[in-house]
Structure 1
Amino acid sequence: MIHAKFTKKGDLITAFEMYGHAGYADSGFDIVCAAVSVLAINTVNSLKQLVKIEPLVVEDSTEGGFLRLEVGTKDLDKPGVQILLAALELGISDLVKQAEYQKYISLD
């Protein structure tokens, strides 16, 4: 199961963490894993390339199954940061609401 958690300070999303493996299907055919990966990686890339911030990113590039992103305090209210993080949270939340995927992903 993939576990996703968003950390907030008031109304601001300050960080997110995702860990685990979906187990929906074999590697290379797991649409839950693919969906979560696309959402998360696109958010990281968008924050870096479009919003021009350098968040702290920690990942397990060897085994996979772990990604944490933390936005620096000075960047939390920079235009675009919160909308991108909220869009990620919405995407994950929508996956969790799908009955077919509920045993493969959780949102804390």
Structure 2
Amino acid sequence: MILVEFVFHNINIKGFTVEGHALFSNYGEDIVCASISTLTIGTINSIIRICNKEVEIEKEDGLIKMYLPDTLETSVEAQTLLKSMLYNLQDIEEQYPENVSIKKSTFS
């Protein structure tokens, strides 16, 4: 299962962690994994390009974490991209609840 955690600071999304494997299908044929990877990487790349700032990323097999620097936390563009990612992932979770789980937590 892929576990997604969105971390909020006040009303803004501070960052997210995507961890695990969907196990919907064989490696290289897993549409759930491919969808989540595309949304995640696309969102990160869009934030970097649109906001013209680097973000903190940790990446390894089955794990990606991204946190906004304080200077981007209230950026309308970054928040719009992150909320779009959240909504799209929620749609995937609704269709594939055995393969994706999303939770929200508060930044401390």
Shift, 1:4, TM fit: 0.2
Matched residue pairs, number? 103
> Which of the pair has the greater relative contact order for Cα pairs under 8 Å at 6+ separation?
2
| SS at structure 2 position matched to 1:80 | helix
Mapped pair 1:102 → 2:100: no
Match of 2:35 in 1: 35
1:63-82 aligned at under 5 Å gives the runs 64-82=61-79
| SS at structure 2 position matched to 1:29 | coil
**Root mean square deviation of aligned Cα:** 0.8
Structure 1 stretches of at least 4 aligned residues deviating more than 6 Å after TM superposition: none
Match of 1:53 in 2: 53
Between stretches 70-79 and 14-23, larger displacement belongs to: 70-79
Shift, 1:78, TM fit: 2.1
Normalising by the residue count of structure 1, what TM-score does the alignment of the two structures yield?
Answer: 0.92
Normalising by the residue count of structure 2, what TM-score does the alignment of the two structures yield?
Answer: 0.92
Match of 1:89 in 2: 86
Which segments of 5 or more consecutive residues in structure 2 lack a partner in the other structure?
A: 104-108
Match of 1:23 in 2: 23
Distance in 2 between residues matched to 1:104 and 1:78, nearest whole Å: 31
Structure with greater proportional strand content:
2
Quote the sequence identity (%). Answer: 28
Which segments of 5 or more consecutive residues in structure 1 lack a partner in the other structure?
A: none
Shift, 1:74, TM fit: 1.4
